[in-house]
Structure 1
Amino acid sequence: MPQTFADPARPGPALRAQDLHVSFGDLKVLRGVSFDLAKGEGAVLLGANGCGKSTLMRALNGLAPVASGQIWVEGQAIVGAPLRAVRAARRQMGYVFQQFNLVPQLSAHQNVLFGAMGQRPLGVLGVMNAFARAEDRERAMACLDRVGLADRATHRPAELSGGQQQRVAIARMLMQAPRVVIADEPIASLDPKAGREVLDLLWRIVEEEGLSLLCTLHQLDLAEEYGRRLIGMKAGRIVLDAATGSVERAELDALYTGAARVDAAPEGVAA
């Protein structure tokens, strides 16, 4: 049986990682990563390129194989769990990526409909416009309206700005109705004005819906402004985890100096 939290009657974290190890060949990328993300919490994950952030995010959504350790989503363990249980747990997770991952041939409305794919037995076919339920089509429009793009429903991605495309991606995530949101560098492809607008929107939706958010950013000023909690990685390990107001800028700067990369800090050497 897949492991769950010890006391089901006691609220646990929305997301928990325990002693995660991920390797690619001889390269140890995650070296014992552990953290909890509370229900309704918005945290920012920081660290230099190559520190293991992206691998951690990929491990959380099942795209990077975990050598050892465990991940719980809403109390359900997913590492080594039966496929049905894994799929059910991952339906609780929504994703916003640096690349918007929109289907270029489809309208904004059709792209948002894909957010319901995991909830329909016919998969992709069940969310195509010709086959989608009326309630799903209406909900997709409501999600577009929520991100301020109801008037762009028939537009294809190429007809939208970068910020608008990311808004469509957020609407698609909303369509999934997740409890945990993973946002991996959601503004890296945007100019500063559009990036701030996207973060304003993302954080507002997360707070209004009572969701839990783990978001990676490179911009320290924005991380301090938006994140209530900062988690810092260096060389495959978490070296900082604290409420934003208690972290000095020098501690954040230190994440980007010295042996910050996983290929620059051998296993057993403190990062």
Structure 2
Amino acid sequence: MPVVPVSTKHHPHDDAPDTAAAFARLSALPDGPERQALRDELVESWLPMARRVASRFRGRGENVEDLNQVAALGLVKAVDRYDPALGNAFESYAVPTITGEIKRHFRDHMWVLHVPRRVQDLRNRVRAALKDLVQTIPGRRPTVTEIAEYAHLSEDEVRTGLEALDCFAALSLDAELPGSEDGYDLADTLGEPDAGFDLVIDREAVKPALRTLPERDRTILYLRFFGGMTQLGIAQELGISQMHVSRLLSGCCATLREQVGTDAAQAPSHEGGRANTPGRP
């Protein structure tokens, strides 16, 4: 069984083997046990380089063993796809392939929130700038302006990158807020749907239609829905029968619904079922 020759004199790293001849032989071999064995030897020879690439991503929320495994997967893909006939060194092809595999792993498995690729790139550049700047600016955190100048980004891009730094993980809604002494948690800060907004829309939509009604009809609607008066009270106020008031109210509501639509006048449509309770048009 041929052994992959190892030489380090033509490579920038001590653990980079000289496998040019082995790759040339691999490309000429047909599928079979001999080719599989040579492929496995090539992968094993380049594993130290793959682990070195994986070490660049330590401290980002993933354990070392998983990083090494993803890097090894990228190395296998690089070995299978590398074409020595193109004249490029294997390492120059393998390093970007392994790096891309690790980055895809972070994008697909580590991000709790879906973040666009552009924002992820900004995050990485801001993170690298922060790491370098904290060594030259002791005692304080670099400012947005300093990060922007160092990373050649705009200040808005830096702010976007800083916001994305915490997107790998999410807080539970039951998490207690920092400095809270009475159990005030994150869920307490979230808003709820406000039905008042729908009421504003309905009132604004019905105003033009109300202006077209006769004055007596507008008075009856005002007393009923804004004055909170019962039909009997309105009848006594205007000197007409309660039955007449009921017919007028029904007619007014039907007219409003016809002009502004059922949604805008949904509240008055229930007049018959709450004749003795205050309401709104």
TM-score computed with the length of structure 1 as normaliser? 0.23
By relative contact order (CA 8 Å, sep 6+), the higher-ranking structure is: 1
Indicate the structure with greater helix content: 2
Indicate the structure with greater strand content: 1
TM-score computed with the length of structure 2 as normaliser? 0.23
